[in-house]
Structure 1
């Protein structure tokens, strides 16, 4: 179990995460919601150790995340795969190589730089792309893909780390509703099939309600809500989003999810068949 106790992170005079205590059971699909500046991204970065908490404890079993360094820190970051809003692919490289870069935490930097990948790694990368319906694009340059395709490549790269946790930082913020649905379906299917814990920051409520079993609401660095989607009341939504509560609902995404329910099930069946 991943556990946070009284975790605080400051940037100068700003308290980005303020005395947060929570835990994540293995295999959960958790959506972290809140307006910009609520502390969502910082929370994920503290878990992955892209930032270090000023106070409190972050533990996973016997691992004290705040104290890790060197090889142990690299191993932890491999275990907690990170997916970013802007994909972070190497545009000039082909899709398959971008996925294989996910092995850097295990294989080391030099072999990856010179594209010295084992046959097993190449086979696993191809399988990851196939699961995400991208195998036919394996030899294309990454920058020839659409935003939604690039984000699914980033998910395939994360799978190459063989993670127990996937941290997705606003993975659909820059995508149109159809591609947002495809990305969220991919994360949900991986969560269900591989029993990988998925913690994803989402700006709007709809994706969290549609795909997550549990929702954490943040405001001003605090956790102000932690429960199931059906526990979110109008007053709680107002507390999480403040004056932005009316724009927290992305009606275009909601309508796309509803209108493409059949297509979504077909996509899910594809992933299940590939797995």
Structure 2
């Protein structure tokens, strides 16, 4: 279980995350919503230890995440895989190699840098790409893929880390509705089939309502809502988004995400 107790992060005089306490049970799919600057991305970076807390404690089971250093910290970052809005692929390398780079947190660094991967890693990378319907692109350069395909490669790379958690920071913010659906379908399938906890920042309400079991709303660094999508009333939405309520809803995205793909329909039928 991942637990945050009274976590605060400051940057100079700016309080990015303010006294946040949250618990994430294993296997949940959680959407964190809020306006830009609400503290969503900082919260994920604190969990992954890309930034350190100013006050409070983050723990995973018996592990004090804030106290980790060196090899133990690298192991945590492998166990707690991060997916970014910008994909962070190596454009000049082929897709398969980009996926195998996910092993860098748990394998010896030099062989990875020299692209000397064991057969087992190659097989696992190929299986991850197959799950995400990208095996036919395995030998293409990463920069030849569409944005949605690149984000799914990033998800496959995260799977190579054999994570307990996947943190996705605005994974669909730069994608068109169709590719956004494919990426969210992939994250939900991994969450349900592999029982991996997924915590994802989402700029709009629609994806959170369509895909997440639980929604956390943030405003000005505080958690102002923590509940199910059905509990997102108009007053709660107003508290989260303030005067930007209209920008929180993308009707085109909503209609695309609700039942248009076979994977999406299968997932809805599983409810």
TM range (shorter): over 0.9
Secondary structure in structure 1 of the residue aligned to 2:166: strand
Match of 1:248 in 2: 248
1:9-33 residue CA offsets vs partner (Å, 9 max, x unmatched): 0011110000000110000000000
Match of 2:212 in 1: 212
Shift of 1:259: 6.2
Are residues 70 and 263 of structure 1, via their aligned partners in 2, closer, same or farther at CA, if it must alter by over 3 Å?
Answer: closer
The TM-score normalised by the length of structure 2 is 0.97
Alignment of 1:59-78 (within 5 A): 59-78=59-78
**96-105 or 251-260, larger mean C-alpha shift:** 251-260
1:114-169 residue CA offsets vs partner (Å, 9 max, x unmatched): 01111001000000000000000000000000000000000000000000000000
Matched, 1:203 2:203: yes
What is the rounded CA distance, in whole Å, between the counterparts of 1:16 and 1:262 in structure 2?
40
What is the rounded CA distance, in whole Å, between the counterparts of 1:102 and 1:14 in structure 2?
34
Matched, 1:28 2:62: no
Match of 1:105 in 2: 105
What is the rounded CA distance, in whole Å, between the counterparts of 1:247 and 1:265 in structure 2?
27
**Runs of 5+ unmatched residues, structure 1:** 270-275
Match of 1:142 in 2: 142
Count of residue correspondences: 268
The TM-score normalised by the length of structure 1 is 0.95
Task: State the Cα RMSD in Å.
Answer: 1.2
1:25-54 residue CA offsets vs partner (Å, 9 max, x unmatched): 000000000000000000000000000001
What is the rounded CA distance, in whole Å, between the counterparts of 1:251 and 1:65 in structure 2?
39
Shift of 1:84: 0.1
What is the rounded CA distance, in whole Å, between the counterparts of 1:258 and 1:28 in structure 2?
20
Shift of 1:247: 1.3
Match of 1:123 in 2: 123
Shift of 1:258: 3.2
Secondary structure in structure 2 of the residue aligned to 1:129: helix
Match of 2:161 in 1: 161
Match of 1:39 in 2: 39
Runs of 4+ in 1 over 2 A off after TM superposition: 261-266
What is the rounded CA distance, in whole Å, between the counterparts of 1:211 and 1:14 in structure 2?
32
What is the rounded CA distance, in whole Å, between the counterparts of 1:81 and 1:262 in structure 2?
27
What is the rounded CA distance, in whole Å, between the counterparts of 1:177 and 1:259 in structure 2?
13
Match of 2:92 in 1: 92
Match of 2:152 in 1: 152
Secondary structure in structure 1 of the residue aligned to 2:106: helix
Shift of 1:173: 0.1
Match of 1:223 in 2: 223
What is the rounded CA distance, in whole Å, between the counterparts of 2:145 and 2:207 in structure 1?
23
Matched, 1:54 2:47: no
Shift of 1:262: 4.3
